[in-house]
Structure 1
Amino acid sequence: MNGHDLKEFMKELGISHVGFSDVEKVVPSNWSRYHYAISLVVQLSNGIIDDIIDEPTDTYFSHYRSVNYHLNEVMLKTTIALQNCGFGAIPIPASQSLHNKSYYGAFPHKTAATLAGLGWIGKSALFIHHQYGPRVRLGTILTDMELPVGTPVTESSCGNCKICVNSCPAMAIQGQNWIQGMERKELYDAHGCSTHMKEHYQHIGRGSVCGICIKTCPVGR
């Protein structure tokens, strides 16, 4: 199996875009043998995103969960395929927060995706895919298989746009342009965002989704 075969394998399983990155300098020490990351991108339904007006919809919540499940299933199948070829692989669950590290996962999907050159991080702290904008969900597989990596994206392409800043009902977006290495808290208040969702959207997914900044971003419409 080579990089091309790997991409074709995942696209046949329903992945919209696949990228590879070198994560040797940023991977946790306990996974130091895994120098490469595979980024999986699934484009969300434009019709579902466009239905979001001033709050999330039940359909969006269901779609959000379904796409995360799909990503996890594809990552599992890809991990099995890599291991069958003699490589090591660790699938990082989509949209999972660690119990001892609020709002952070085991490895940041956005870090892998920007290092793979698939897009940048917006003022909203969302990943902005070059083609699909923020209308995506991400997955990541760490591996020791040597892969042909992309050219990292190191700065934002949002420019002076502040549509997401002005649209955020939680007023959680600070309005800063991202550059590589910037901490997420410099871009947006994750706790404030989560608190607003729990207080206002309990009737939809028990306050676990919003989607307004995804809907209003002009990239990927």
Structure 2
Amino acid sequence: MDNLKKYLLGLGASKVGYADVDGLASEFIDLPNGISLVLKLPKRAMHLIEDEDYEDYWKCFHAKVAELSEIALEGEKFIKNLGYDAFALTMTRNECDMKKLLSTLPYKTIATKSGLGWIGRSALFVTPEYGSAVVLGAILTDMPLEFGSPITDSQCDDCENCQKACPVEAINPQKWNDRLNREDIIDIDACFEYIMDQYKAGLGCTKCMSECRLTQEYLKRE
């Protein structure tokens, strides 16, 4: 294992992958290589969803986002100390358009290009180990990296759990591949409207994540 990956995993990242993102990061900084960071959500978070304890769930979720941001920032320092340029793509640096539910440079793009997982029917990122129960982060750099093999097609097989669980039927039958637009697999307007209503009521909508077959397998695993 290379020293950078070993360092990031040692800080607490669950998965680390490398991708060619040349040209995708120009809005931030002209750095051609992406480091995808995946941090699994604790099983407790999924049980909080089952109990509809969204207040504690969101506290847990945001704590994990903050933890991953710190890992990214420490990774940035590590790479710079090696003599390369680096830019931790934290939430505050990668502004999310809430109406589009989309970051300026989607973490999912770097993660799929790194070969760490794929996009599910729900448009959430899916890993074979943890399903959709993850948070994502990234670092951009000019440090030479050995890229993973990009995943360009869904590996969800015939599973329709998330589609059936969606309370507003926003998820289309079409499975993801990297030649499609996001609108081909999900009605983002319907999704956004429902999510906003839920937030205003102090609730949430995470059924597509918690009902994912691979998320369920993660919860059952010792």
1:45 to 29, 42, 45: 42
Per-residue deviation, 1:13: 1.2
2:212 is aligned with what amino acid? Answer: C
Deviations 1:170-205 (A, max 9, x none): 32211210111321111112232222122134243x
Q: Compared with structure 1, are the counterparts of its residues 83 and 178 closer, same or farther at alpha carbon in structure 2 (3 Å cutoff)?
A: same
Q: Compared with structure 1, are the counterparts of its residues 29 and 97 closer, same or farther at alpha carbon in structure 2 (3 Å cutoff)?
A: closer
1:70-149 superposed matches below 5 A? 70-94=67-91, 97-98=95-96, 102-149=100-147
Per-residue deviation, 1:56: 5.9
Identity among equivalent positions (%) equals 33
- Is the Cα contact below 8 Å between 1:56 and 1:210 reproduced in 2? no
1: distance between equivalents of 2:17 and 2:160? 28
Structure 1 unaligned spans of 5+: none
TM-score (norm 2): 0.87
2:119 is aligned with what amino acid? Answer: I
Count of equivalent residues: 215
1:49 is aligned with what amino acid? Answer: M
More displaced stretch, 98-107 vs 3-12: 98-107
- Is the Cα contact below 8 Å between 2:14 and 2:38 reproduced in 1? yes
Q: Which residue does 2:57 correspond to in 1?
A: 60
More displaced stretch, 125-134 vs 177-186: 177-186
- Is the Cα contact below 8 Å between 1:55 and 1:210 reproduced in 2? no
- Is the Cα contact below 8 Å between 1:97 and 1:103 reproduced in 2? no
Q: Which residue does 2:172 correspond to in 1?
A: 174
Per-residue deviation, 1:84: 2.0
C-alpha RMSD of the superposition = 2.3
Secondary structure of residue in 2 paired with 1:161 = coil
Per-residue deviation, 1:16: 0.8
Structure 2 unaligned spans of 5+: 218-222
Q: Which residue does 2:15 correspond to in 1?
A: 17
- Is the Cα contact below 8 Å between 1:54 and 1:212 reproduced in 2? no
Secondary structure of residue in 2 paired with 1:165 = helix
1:154-169 superposed matches below 5 A? 154-169=152-167
1: distance between equivalents of 2:33 and 2:80? 15
2: distance between equivalents of 1:129 and 1:150? 15
Deviations 1:18-53 (A, max 9, x none): 1111112x5144567422110101010113213323
Q: Which residue does 1:216 correspond to in 2?
A: 211
Deviations 1:120-172 (A, max 9, x none): 10000000012111010000111111101111111001122211111011322
Q: Compared with structure 1, are the counterparts of its residues 84 and 70 closer, same or farther at alpha carbon in structure 2 (3 Å cutoff)?
A: same
1: distance between equivalents of 2:76 and 2:208? 32
